[in-house]
Amino acid sequence: MFDVIIAGCGPTGAMLAAELRLHDVRVLVLEKETEPVSFVRIVGLHIRSIELMAMRGLLERMLERGRRRPAAGFFAAINKPAPAGLDSAHAYLLGIPQPVIVHLLEEHAIELGAQVRRGCAVVDLEQDDEGVTVELADGERLRSRYLVGCDGGRSAVRKRLGVGFPGEPSRTETLMGELEVGVPQEEIAAKVAEIAQTDRRFSLRPFGERVYQVIVPAAGVSDRAVPPTLEDFRHRLRTIAGTDFGVHSPRWLSRFGDATRLAERYRVGRVLLAGDAAHIHPPIGGQGLNLGVQDACNLGWKLAAQIRGWAPDTLLDTYQAERHPVAEDVLDNTRAQMELLSTEPGPQAVRRLLTELMDFDEVNRYLIEKITAIGIRYDFGAGPDLLGRRLPDIDVKQGHLYGLLHRGRGLLLDRTERLTVGGWSDRVDYLADPTAALDVPCVLLRPDGHVAWIGDDQQDLDDQLSRWFGKPADGTVRER
């Protein structure tokens, strides 16, 4: 019997497995594919995800395999420089292919003790008061206390739960692949520049010697389970560019749509959903993987608390309360961005207007903070603006703040040096007189780096420690 079974070892499942292992939860990840997928889908990690990698000690490995690029030009691919002074020690885009991210996250989860079984497709589930029975395609049945569906947009877990997935179906489809070309680079660059004037869904980018990543609009919407052929690519390139650039020898070929959907619920009893299993949207702005990894960091410590037995009653439900609105917002911003890609005169006029508005620093900053997820503020009730936001990776006496969050515990930063985490010290670390960079007396951080409390009063603090971290281990509650 495992504590948690995770269906799917994509970026969300792998990150969640590692988060749970930080708290010694027995985790099994079941992955349908026998080999890791090699499709290079993503542009990269945005600021908040980079920060999360720093918080878990993973950033060095990611930086070795990726490339830093400016944190700009994401919103509807409108080309504006990043606003000055973004509030992050990691204010860049980390260009890194999705298969590399998944490999590094899976490696990290396994190092921490997670078990990953490949070639195991979850096909059914049943839950009762004690746990969940998971059935695999070969008929094997496994038991765990909780199950998390991180099994992508066509999630079997979500379907078996009967959770609704309302939204819009795909209206357009795009072919994407890595192929060798048969014409000189200059010829391709000139043609791509010409077409980019009118069609923003078309691109050929060099991806190594003679190999190009080709993105070209498909003729219509087809069955996404059926991979496109080399001839499909040639045909569409000839239709749109007047030449097929002599493409041949594909490394891989794929297609994606622009369906936009959000799960009605993220939790049904002992089964939860995260990542693409809970939300899908067009890839514009490069947010899907980032959103899933951030779901995992929000859910991991809460589910671990539930399993370890110290979670306050409502803690696990704050996962949906906090993350559903974030996904709703991402879906909406991708809808808006897709409209701005249209070549119709109306959307083009709105695009020109927005391009002008982005010259105002505040507009540019608002959009970048939205796409990179550093603007997120969870609703923890009334309080200063910092409450519910993530604390940036500020310098503290011991080095960088995020270096103190590797173990996924809470943290009290106490400038007054008068407060104590008392009976919660098995879950929450304490740092006295941490830094002058903090302009408030004390801050309580959750394991995901969000500010749970600001103040200087011990009784207030105890209330908030109870709210987020349950009863103190020694059972003592200070006299009022």
Ligand X SMILES: Cc1cc2nc3c(=O)[nH]c(=O)nc-3n(C[C@H](O)[C@H](O)[C@H](O)COP(=O)(O)OP(=O)(O)OC[C@H]3O[C@@H](n4cnc5c(N)ncnc54)[C@H](O)[C@@H]3O)c2cc1C
Per CB under 6 A, residues contacting ligand X are 7-13, 30-33, 41-43, 98, 121-122, 150-152, 156, 176, 256, 275-276, 283, 286-290, 292
* CB of 336 or CB of 440, closer to ligand X: 336
Residue 330, by phi and psi: left (phi above 0), alpha (psi -120 to 50) or beta? alpha
Q: Indicate the residue among 286 and 410 with the shorter CB distance to ligand X.
A: 286
Residues 15, 284: Cα–Cα separation, whole Å: 23
Provide the residue count of the chain. Answer: 480
Q: Which two tokens stand for residue 306?
A: 């539930």
CB of 287 to ligand X, least distance (A): 5
Q: What is the DSSP letter of 385?
A: T
Q: Write the CA distances from 375 to 70, 296, 327, integer angstroms.
A: 18, 18, 13
334 vs 364 by CB, closer to ligand X? 334
Within a 13 Å sphere around the CA of 376, how many CA atoms are in the beta-carbon half?
28
Q: Give whole-number Cα distances, 352 to 223, 332, 358, in Å.
A: 35, 20, 10
Task: Report CA 236 to chain centroid distance, whole Å.
Answer: 32
| Complex with ligand X: residue 121 or 432, whichever CB lies closer | 121
Q: Which residues contact 381 (CB under 8 A, 6 or more apart)?
A: 387
Joined together, the tokens standing for residue 65 give 């395999």
Number of Cβ within 10 Å of residue 356's Cβ equals 10
Give me the least distance between CB of 412 and ligand X, in Å please: 32
Q: Which residue, 291 or 444, is less far from ligand X as judged by CB?
A: 291
User: What are the tokens at 64?
Assistant: 């070795």
With CA atoms as reference, report the closest residue to 218 among 233, 238, 208: 233
CB 8 to ligand X: min, Å: 3
Q: Cα–Cα distances in Å, from 306 out to 4, 53, 98, 125, 404?
A: 11, 24, 31, 21, 23
**Least distance CB 111 / ligand X (angstroms):** 19
CB closer to ligand X out of 390 and 409 = 390
Q: Are the C-beta atoms of 429 and 420 separated by less than 8 Å?
A: no
List Cβ neighbours of 52 (8 Å cut-off, separation of 6 or more): 293, 294, 297, 448, 449
Give least dist CB 224 to ligand X, A.
10
Q: What is the CA radius of gyration of the chain?
A: 23
Q: What is the DSSP string of 149-174?
A: E---TT-HHHHHHT----EE--S-EE
Q: What is the closest distance, in whole angstroms, from the C-beta atom of residue 420 to ligand X in the complex? A: 40
Give SS3 for 229: coil
H-only helix segments in 282-437: 288-308, 318-341, 345-357, 361-371
Q: Shortest distance, CB of residue 375 to ligand X, whole angstroms?
A: 16
Question: What's the first-to-final CA gap in the chain, in angstroms?
Answer: 43
- Nearer to ligand X by Cβ, of 270 and 279: the residue is 279
Q: Which is nearer to ligand X, 9 or 411 (CB)?
A: 9
Q: Rounded to the nearest whole angstrom, what is the least distance from the CB of residue 10 to ligand X in the complex?
A: 2
Closer by beta carbon to ligand X, 126 or else 194 = 126
Assess contact for 203 and 195: CB atoms under 8 A. Answer: no
CA atoms within 13 A on the CB side of 368: 27
Query: How near is the Cβ of 104 to ligand X at its closest, in Å?
Result: 14
Residue nearer to ligand X on the CB measure, 91 or 454: 91
* Residue 223 amino acid letter: D
Cβ 426 to ligand X shortest distance, Å: 31
User: What's the closest the beta carbon of residue 12 comes to ligand X, in angstroms?
Assistant: 3
Which is nearer to ligand X, 151 or 369 (by Cβ)? 151
